[in-house]
């Protein structure tokens, strides 16, 4: 087994990876959450009477669509910035303490 040490991370590559993973994970939460808001608002509006109930239902539909779109965008931006800062901090500390050691094995 060979030991390798990660001495430096590419901040931009780490940030892109964090952002990509965060986008996919946020979709897993945002889409059901947005659909729940839309469904609940339409169901609630169907129980009400008059234009006030329809207005509330319409606002819920818009809110659900905004949640489906905005949550992944915001989460992706925050993850990109966090990954960038995290990689920069890792590089600083890896220079001081030597980095993370990993063991690798050739499989052939």
Residues 79-107 have pLDDT tens digits of 999 999 999 999 999 999 989 999 988 88
Quick: pLDDT tens for 19-71: 999 999 999 999 999 998 888 777 765 555 555 555 555 677 888 899 999 99
User: Which one, of 64, 58, 59, 56, lies nearest residue 38 by Cα?
Assistant: 64
Q: What pLDDT, on a 0 to 100 scale, did the predictor assign at position 40?
A: 79
Residues in a beta bridge with 5:
101
pLDDT above 60 for 75: yes
Report d(CA 70, CA 64) in Å as an integer. 10
Query: CB under 8 Å to 14, separation ≥6 — which residues?
Result: 83, 84, 86, 87
- pTM for the full predicted model: 0.78
């Amino acid at each position: 087994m060979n030991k390798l040490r990660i001495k430096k991370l590419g901040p931009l590559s780490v940030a892109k990876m964090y952002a990509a993973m965060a986008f996919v994970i946020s979709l897993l939460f945002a889409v059901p959450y947005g659909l729940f808001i839309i469904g609940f608002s339409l169901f609630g509006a169907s129980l009400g009477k008059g234009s006030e109930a329809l207005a509330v239902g319409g606002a819920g539909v818009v809110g659900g669509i905004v949640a489906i779109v905005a949550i992944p965008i915001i989460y992706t931006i925050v993850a990109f910035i966090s990954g960038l800062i995290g990689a920069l901090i890792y590089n600083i500390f890896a220079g001081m303490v030597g980095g993370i050691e990993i063991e690798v094995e050739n499989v052939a």
